[in-house]
Chains A and B, each alone.
Chain A
Amino acid sequence: DVKVTQSSRYLVKRTGEKVFLECVQDMDHENMFWYRQDPGLGLRLIYFSYDVKMKEKGDIPEGYSVSREKKERFSLILESASTNQTSMYLCASSAGRRKMRNQPQHFGDGTRLSIL
């Protein structure tokens, strides 16, 4: 079974702090994704990566950056946390296009981040 592990289930930070959210997958997947989930808005894509050191902006990248130094690890960085970034953050991974189109995305259980 694919396992996507997010380092923290709950995190409380202060405005202006630099925040790191970590995600690790154990299935040698090429693709990794970061979403935020808010009530009534569904899941919105922040950034994704299709290879080591490669990244692309999603639909709401402002205020965020990402890092992918190793294939199994994808980090989301809040450069200067603000209260409007309080949310549930979900990481996902999927196999790359070399295997088959439309591989399912496998999600971690999320990090609930509160910015005070």
Chain B
Amino acid sequence: QQQVKQSPQSLIVQKGGISIINCAYENTAFDYFPWYQQFPGKGPALLIAIRPDVSEKKEGRFTISFNKSAKQFSLHIMDSQPGDSATYFCAASTYGGATNKLIFGTGTLLAVQP
């Protein structure tokens, strides 16, 4: 119940195309859903995040779509660029006790071909 399932494991997209990464969860207590981006040799960095009271959040070319009833959320990268090539992790947060903990998905390796 604590898992976050992420797919696909890897993705190849042509420059200018749309990249879509999907995540699903079971625990209805999750109340915060961030996406992290990780370049080779670097730690993950927060890209964009959403709370369950909204169905979509957009920041530039990056959009999170959230479906509370289906317990699914996805990351859409519009006009994908070679510089977007990285590993993307979805996550979900439970808030209890002293702080919030993140449960991460297994990651998606995105390659955007020029």
Contacts and interface: CB of A to CB of B under 8 A. Distances in A.
Contact of B44 (A30, A56, A97, A107): A107
Given A45-B102, A51-B98, A102-B49, A108 B43 contact: yes
A103 B32 CA distance: 10
Interface in B85-106: 89, 93, 95, 97-102, 104-106
Interface residues of B, number: 27
A81 interface: no
Nearest to A35: B104
Interface stretch (A13-21, A36-44, A68-76): A36-44
A98 to B, nearest CB: 11
Nearest to A101: B95
A105 B6 contact: no
A48 interface: yes
Interface string A73-108: 000000000000000001010101100011111111
A34 interface: no
A90 B44 CA distance: 9
Contact of B106 (A35, A40, A59): A40
Contact of B41 (A44, A45, A104, A109): A109
